[in-house]
Amino acid sequence: MRLRDRRAGSQPEVMIIPMIDIMFFLLVFFMMSTLYMVNLKTVDVEMPKAQHAETQMNVNYLVTLKQDGSLWLEDKPVAEQDLLERAKQEYKRNPHFAVVVRADQNIDYGLVVALLDKLRGAGIARFGLAAEPGGTHGE
């Protein structure tokens, strides 16, 4: 009776499942790391601080209202009427269109409300007010 050598009959195997797990891990790692590398085109203003402020990356229109009352769309100056016309056109194309307003903390509150009112009059229903994270309730 002849005994078989166990090593002679087995073939080497490549374990695919651990390799797939590693590839998915690397994919998620690089996706998450690139989220922090997104360069938002904005104008520098001193925004108010809020303790519960959140960062959102899916902003359609980022409108900045500087202390001197000038309007900026992302990093370019824009006239108020031009901004309203662009917003109307974008809202017609995308019903989930949203506008985020970044206003200087020292600006007159009436200017912010007037801008929001004009955008509402143009048919825009979704708004956001930007703030910097890190404020406290006592400030």
Place of tokens 């590398």: 37
Highest-pLDDT range among 2-11, 34-43, 90-99? 90-99
Q: pLDDT band at residue 118, thresholds of 50, 70 and 90?
A: very high
pLDDT average, residue stretch 57-67: 77
Backbone φ, ψ for residue 132 (5° rounding): -90, 140
Higher per-residue pLDDT: 42 or 118: 118
Residue % of the chain over a pLDDT of 90? 16
Backbone φ, ψ for residue 80 (5° rounding): -60, -45
pLDDT of residue 51: 64
In the beta sheet, which residues pair with residue 98? none
Domain 49-133 has CATH 3.40.30.10: no
Q: Which of 65, 61, 39, 67 is nearest to 128 (CA)?
A: 61
Separation of alpha carbons 91 and 85, rounded Å: 10
The pTM (predicted TM-score) of the whole model is 0.58
pLDDT of residue 2: 63
Dump pLDDT digits (tens) for 17-53.
Answer: 888 999 999 999 988 887 766 555 566 666 666 766 6
Question: Can you tell me whether residue 120 is helix, strand or coil?
Answer: helix
Q: What average pLDDT is seen over the chain?
A: 80
Domain ranges for the chain, please list them.
6-35, 49-133
